[in-house]
Structure formats: structure tokens, C-alpha cells
């Protein structure tokens, strides 16, 4: 396992080959890489990471568990873009970075939970940054070396190690950086295709909370741009992606 004081040199070498990232901040420990990135979010191109993140923030006001020295916590400051594009590209980039580590397909559960066997392997939080000029901050948490989870997460979470991918956190982080850098150049058509082939909800039964109330049915298609198609008992419905969240997922 590469100690955290060895991370800056390896990350700087990787940054030298990136088009969209040029700087990194690596801390031994921090409350939240996301909070730290906000203070440096006026220009795109920064990666903030830490050997241990104590009080990570998740979507919808949830917490992201202490990574100890087992998980990756990374926040990337990127150029501002529409929400749909940021959601699709960050999920596709993260899934694509993890697939070679475990040697199998990785799914995306709308909007951007990264899942394998219906358990969460990574989570993504996208926030707006930049006081002077708008940017976005893509925060990614990946479970890497965990062999077990706290009772409240057990059964819902998984890690690369639990999936047979015994990887060094630094190698996974470098892979993620490269993947995100590449994916930032993807066209909308490419992202649509890459998202669709990893869509973990398609073909399963889910309940969505939406502006029109709860909608339950078989998920026919998830498209970050145009919406979610659900076959309900009363016919097919299209849900707007921005305001529809998965409430339960029975598979």
C-alpha cells in the first residue's frame, strides 16, 4: 500500500498527461475534500484528495462514512456544464475506471450511484463552485479496501476488495483521474451510450419520488437528458430526470 506521502509525486506525474487537470492538493486527513475544494474552485483543473476523510458529505444531505485508510475521497474542480452532462460524465468515468480493477461490468444506478450486484461501490456528489467564475465540483467516494461495513451499510455497500480487486488506493485514484480527464471530452452521444450500457435500473422494478408523486413500475430506460421511462400498471410514464429520485428498488 503506497503511503499517502507518496501520492503527490504519482498524481503530479499523471496530471502532466491530463488535458483538464493540472494541480492537486493531497492531505493526510481532512473533514471533507469537497468542502476544501470549494475554497479553491474559481478555476477548473484541481484535484483534492486525502489519505483519510473523516466527515464526508453525500447527496441529499446524507453523510459519507469515514474512509479510514480503506476508501478514496476525491474532489475534482471542473468547468461548469449542464447538470445532465456532469451527472452522466462523472458516473461513466467512475464506472469505467473501476471495471478494469475488478474485471467485470460496473453499473450506474440513477443518477450516479456506482453499483455492482445491487450494492454501492462508489458515490458521487456534484456541487457548483466558483465565486468569480462558475465551476463544478465533482466529489467521488470509492470503497476500495473494506472487507466489511458498519451494520447500517452492510448488505447495501461493497468494495473493490470484496469484489476480488485487491488494489492500491493510489492506483485506483490515478485511474479515476485519467478516466475523468478522458471522459470530459466525450460527446453527448458517447455519454448516452456509455451510460445506457451500464444502466443498473433498466429492467428492474423501482419506485420514484417525482413532482407527480410516487411512480412504481418496470424501468424501461434511463437517459440523463430526456428522462426515465417507467412501465406502470396504468401505462408508460416519462419522469423528468432532475426532479425524480429512486425511493425503493426491488430489482
Position 32 contacts ligand BTN (CB under 6 A) = yes
Indicate the residue among 34 and 210 with the shorter CB distance to ligand BTN: 34
Cα–Cα distance for residue pair 248/205, rounded to 1 Å: 9
Q: 15, 24, 26, 34: which one contacts ligand BTN (CB under 6 A)?
A: 34
Position 57 contacts ligand BTN (CB under 6 A) = yes
Evaluated on CA atoms 236, 246, 206, 190, the torsion sign reads positive
Cα–Cα distance for residue pair 150/155, rounded to 1 Å: 10
Min CB(129)–ligand BTN separation in Å: 12
Position 125 contacts ligand BTN (CB under 6 A) = yes
Q: 14, 15, 33, 162: which one contacts ligand BTN (CB under 6 A)?
A: 33
Neighbours of 105 (CB within 10 A): 12
- 231, 220 contact by CB (below 8 A): yes
Q: Which residues ranging from 95 to 124 are in contact with ligand BTN (CB under 6 A)?
A: 113, 123-124
Min CB(69)–ligand BTN separation in Å: 14
Position 173 contacts ligand BTN (CB under 6 A) = no
What is the DSSP track for 43-73? SS-EEEEEEEESSEE-GGG-EE---TTTEEE
Min CB(226)–ligand BTN separation in Å: 23
Residues 6 or more apart in contact with residue 74 via CB below 8 angstroms? 33, 47, 48, 49, 139, 140, 141, 173, 176, 177
Indicate the residue among 34 and 41 with the shorter CB distance to ligand BTN: 34
Position 58 contacts ligand BTN (CB under 6 A) = yes
Indicate the residue among 58 and 227 with the shorter CB distance to ligand BTN: 58
Which residues on adjacent β-strands are paired with residue 229?
A: 221, 238
Chain residues in the site for ligand BTN (CB under 6 A): 32-34, 53, 56-59, 62, 64, 73-75, 113, 123-125, 139-141
Amino acid at each position: 500500500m503506497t503511503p499517502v506521502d507518496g501520492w503527490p509525486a504519482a498524481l503530479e506525474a499523471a496530471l502532466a498527461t491530463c488535458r483538464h487537470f493540472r494541480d492537486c492538493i493531497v492531505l493526510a486527513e481532512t473533514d471533507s475534500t469537497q468542502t476544501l475544494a470549494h475554497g479553491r474552485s474559481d478555476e477548473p483543473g484541481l484535484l483534492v484528495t486525502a489519505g483519510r476523510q473523516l466527515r464526508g458529505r453525500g447527496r441529499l444531505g446524507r453523510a459519507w462514512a469515514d474512509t479510514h485508510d480503506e476508501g478514496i475521497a476525491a474532489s475534482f474542480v471542473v468547468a461548469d456544464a449542464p447538470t445532465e452532462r456532469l451527472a452522466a460524465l462523472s458516473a461513466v468515468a467512475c464506472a469505467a475506471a473501476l471495471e478494469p480493477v475488478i474485471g467485470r461490468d460496473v453499473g450506474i444506478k440513477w443518477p450516479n450511484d456506482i453499483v455492482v450486484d445491487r450494492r454501492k461501490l462508489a458515490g458521487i456528489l456534484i456541487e457548483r463552485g466558483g465565486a468569480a467564475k462558475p465551476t463544478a465540483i465533482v466529489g467521488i467516494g470509492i470503497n476500495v479496501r473494506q472487507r466489511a461495513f458498519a451494520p447500517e451499510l452492510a448488505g447495501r455497500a461493497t468494495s473493490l476488495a470484496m469484489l476480488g480487486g485487491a488494489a492500491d488506493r493510489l492506483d485506483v485514484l490515478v485511474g479515476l483521474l485519467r478516466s475523468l480527464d478522458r471522459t470530459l471530452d466525450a460527446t453527448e452521444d458517447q455519454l448516452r451510450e456509455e451510460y445506457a450500457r451500464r444502466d443498473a435500473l433498466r429492467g428492474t422494478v423501482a419506485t420514484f419520488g417525482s413532482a407527480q408523486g410516487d411512480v412504481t413500475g418496470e424501468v424501461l430506460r434511463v437517459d440523463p437528458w430526456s428522462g426515465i421511462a417507467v412501465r406502470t400498471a396504468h401505462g408508460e410514464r416519462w419522469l423528468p430526470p432532475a426532479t425524480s429520485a429512486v425511493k425503493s428498488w426491488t430489482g
